[in-house]
Chain A
């Protein structure tokens, strides 16, 4: 075998990226973290459907309350409330079922039995239905035919005209945005740290010297960031796909598929930008130290940025029109987590996404160049922490470029 000719930059990037991808796919920690994420996600999607605590009212009706039961379910249907009525044989049985949690409320002998307090929506339904059935019975006792009595006592309800109607899916979108933030945070921290640890691993084992004898430092950096990013993308897409399937099967998120798909798309796009931003930052930090133990001190500032972005994004979920949220949503690196929240939750004005994307892309491009230089300057210096100034001043690349 003879090795000759130049190794084109792309071949170098491809070989490095493939190694990163293959070696890490084989690590048990990757499989475990993927499985745990999937389990949590499926759990969150499935749990509400299993527990059934999502607005369903289970009400028991004692002997002689069948007319009230009928009126309650009828009124509930009109108001789009989910009331499941069934009969209970006695007050004792009703008490037992309510205290055991099988029923939310029971109506027996003219009383409503609840465990601690009556849900206000259910209360209004019960009281309204009770008032009407009681009135109907009194009017009937005056000799009016039942259907006449009902007609007289059922005026058409007041119609509501909303000037600025709320988005019916607002809560669901917020829920999706919350998961988007958690996922983004996990992926960016996790894969950014992997880049940092990979850089230090090569430096502390000195394998970087062998690699740099065959390729430029920035080729090595690009391949590493690409390979690990690809792995993060694969994991994210897998998690999103499983999440979408779980949500569709259980119906726990009441949003059209188009909206969910759009959210997934936003999430993936911002993961890529956010990962590239932070991976460059992490790599430049890591190139300055020679041992894993020193990694924490140089990645601290980047960790702070991720944390600030994360908590900013959580706060922004409840601040749709806040000026600071809007501004942070377009300024990198905060935009990487705050903008997707505003997109998914449906807060962002149409101009925000393109502006945020353009700024983030520009920041990524600039950071890649800067990271390449700091990496080249720092990656061969062993011993203590290399300052940014030293790393930028003393680039160790070949002075003559073939």
Chain B
């Protein structure tokens, strides 16, 4: 398990991280979301040992992460992190060597990953000559080339077209399926909702909501239902508040302990019911709520 425990970090007067904690199980995909400046990049840099926290620690398999363990992590920094003028294969091979591979193994692994991610045809080109999507694939190859035990990716999907997003998403799912914890940050919340087993929402350097999306939805929140029936019936039902009414469609919120079947009965009594659906807030809704508080 990858554990991030009570990280604190200040830059001068600015508090970047204020006791941030979360943990990721092996084989799980963890979505790390928050507004710009919330502390996501700082956290990831600390996990990778690029930055030192003022206090707190990162543990992998129960022991504190040090310079040696961190070399078995794979990392994709925010924006791009490659030499623009270096050739693709040389570059990925070089990074593999920095992770401790021999020269020959490094080049073989680099070639294999470029093949796997569909950019082997560009192996001899300079990185700056590649399209953004292909650069991102090379970037991913650089993060995966040393077969890391843990993957940490900062905004891996930004700037990708839908096809690029799919390729990257498949690759990450494959890594998680192989039993690795995968952490990534993103502003594309629908993508996070679709891909991730668990989500953490950061605000001002603190984790304000964490867990599976179901957990976040369930979390003591009143249930809501969308009902399409002939109108005028719900307003006087005890424990039910109408949130929204548009024509025949009503969104009603049930107080704690109120049986939703009572709501359905009331609707049926008023006339034929065409829709009766529990309304689940999307991650975007949850995010807005938590971040706006």
Point out residues on A near B: beta carbons under 8 Å: 1-7, 12, 15, 19, 23, 201-202, 205-216, 380, 394, 396-402
Does B208 count as interface, using CB distance less than 8 angstroms?
A: no
CA distance A208 to B98 in the complex (A): 12
Of the residues A5, A12, A213, contact of B50 by C-beta under 8 Å: A213
In the bound assembly, the distance between CA atoms of A396 and B85 in angstroms comes to 27
Q: Flag whether B81 is at the interface (Cβ < 8 A).
A: yes
**Complex interface: chain B residues within 8 A of A215 (CB):** 98
Chain B residues closer than 8 Å to A4, beta-carbon distance:
68, 71-72, 100
Contact with A along B32-75 (1 / 0, CB 8 A): 00000000000001001111110000000000101110111101
Chain B 171-185 per-residue mask, 1 if CB under 8 angstroms from chain A, else 0: 000000000000000
Are the CB atoms of A201 and B49 closer together than 8 Å? no
In the bound complex, do residue A209 and residue B95 qualify as a contact, i.e. CB atoms below 8 Å apart? no
- Distance between A58 CB and nearest chain B CB, rounded to angstroms: 56
A12 B98 Cβ-Cβ under 8 A: yes
A3 and B11 within 8 A (CB): no
Question: Is B129's beta carbon under 8 Å from chain A?
Answer: no
Chain A CB count within 10 A is highest, among B50, B70, B108, for B50
User: Pick the contact of A209 from B70, B77, B84, B98 — CB < 8 Å?
Assistant: B77
Q: How many residues of B contact A (CB 8 A)?
A: 44
A-B interface, 9 closest residue pairs, ranked by CB to CB distance from nearest: A3-B146, A3-B99, A209-B77, A206-B81, A3-B100, A214-B98, A399-B52, A402-B66, A213-B48
**Which residues of the other chain, B, contact A208 by a CB distance below 8 angstroms?**
81
| B71:A214 contact, CB within 8 angstroms | yes
Q: Is the CB of B68 within 8 A of A402?
A: yes
Partner of A205, one of B84, B94, B98: B84
A sample of 6 cross-chain residue pairs with beta-carbon separation below 8 angstroms, ordered by A number, consists of A1-B96, A4-B68, A23-B90, A214-B99, A216-B67, A397-B52
CB–CB B96/A19 < 8 A = no
Cα separation A201 to B84 with both chains bound (whole Å): 8
**Are B98 and A380 in contact, with the CB atoms below 8 A?**
no
Picked from B52, B71, B80, B105, the residue with its CB within 8 Å of the CB of A398 is: B52
Known: A1-B101, A207-B82. A398 touches B77 (CB 8 A): no
A7 & B71 in contact (Cβ 8 Å cutoff): yes
Which A residues touch B97, using CB under 8 A?
A: 15
**B72–A213 touching, CB < 8 Å:** no
CA distance A23 to B87 in the complex (A): 9
Asked if A400 and B72 make an inter-chain contact with CB atoms under 8 angstroms apart, the answer reads no
Q: What number of residue pairs across chains A and B have CB atoms under 8 A from each other?
A: 106
Contacts of A216 in B (CB 8 A): 67
* Residues of B with C-beta under 8 A to A213: 48-50, 70-71, 73, 75
Which residue of B is nearest A401, CB measured? Answer: B67
Q: B86 an interface residue at 8 Å Cβ cutoff? A: yes
Q: For B101, what are the chain A residues with a Cβ–Cβ distance below 8 Å?
A: 1, 3
Contact A1 B75 (CB under 8 A): no
Taking A3-B71, A3-B72, A4-B72 as contacts, is the C-beta distance between A398 and B81 under 8 angstroms? no
Query: How many whole Å from B87's CB to the nearest CB in chain A?
Result: 9
B115 CB-CB contact with A under 8 Å: no
B78 interfacial contact with A, CB 8 Å: yes
Asked if B233 is an interface residue, CB under 8 A from chain A, the answer is no
Q: A209 CA to B48 CA in the complex, in Å?
A: 9
Most A Cβ at <10 Å: residue of B72, B83, B90, B148: B83
Residue among A12, A205, A210, A215 facing the most chain B CB atoms (10 A cut-off): A210
Please judge, given known A-B contacts A213-B75, A398-B49, A398-B52, whether A1 and B147 are in contact too, CB under 8 Å: yes
A7 in contact with B98 (CB, 8 Å): yes
Cβ of A3: which chain B residues have Cβ within 8 Å of it? 71-72, 96, 99-101, 146-148
New contact pairs (17) apart from A210-B75, A396-B52, A398-B52, CB-CB < 8 Å: A4-B100, A6-B68, A7-B98, A15-B97, A23-B90, A205-B83, A206-B79, A207-B81, A209-B45, A210-B95, A213-B71, A214-B95, A214-B98, A214-B99, A380-B51, A398-B67, A402-B68
The reply to whether B68 and A5 contact each other, CB–CB distance below 8 Å, is yes
B142 within 8 A of A: yes
B109 at interface, CB cutoff 8 A: yes
Please determine whether B100 and A205 come into contact, CB atoms closer than 8 angstroms.
no
Q: Are A206 and B72 in contact (CB under 8 A)?
A: no
Q: A4-B100, A206-B78, A380-B50 are in contact. Are A402 and B67 (CB under 8 A)?
A: yes
Q: Which residues of chain B are within 8 angstroms of A12 by Cβ–Cβ distance?
A: 98
- A201 cross-chain contacts in B, Cβ below 8 A: 83-85
Q: B67 to A6, Cβ gap below 8 A?
A: yes
For the complex formed, measure the closest distance between the CB of B266 and the CB atoms of chain A, giving whole angstroms. 59
**Chain B, Cβ-Cβ closest to A216:** B67
Shortest CB-to-CB span from B53 to chain A, Å, is 8
In the complex, A201 Cα to B96 Cα: how many Å?
Answer: 20
Given A1-B96, A396-B52, A398-B67, answer yes or no on A206-B77 (Cβ-Cβ < 8 Å). yes
Residue of B nearest to A15 (CB): B97
**A residues within 8 A CB of B64?**
400
B79: nearest residue on chain A (CB-CB)? A206
Taking the closest CB of chain A, its distance from the CB of B113, in whole angstroms, is 10
Query: For the complex, what is the distance from the CA of A214 to the CA of B98, rounded to whole Å?
Result: 6
Cα(A6)–Cα(B75), bound, Å: 17
**What string of 1s and 0s marks CB contacts (under 8 Å) between B224-244 and chain A?**
000000000000000000000
Task: Please measure, in the bound complex, the distance between the C-alpha atom of A273 and the C-alpha atom of B219, giving whole angstroms.
Answer: 66
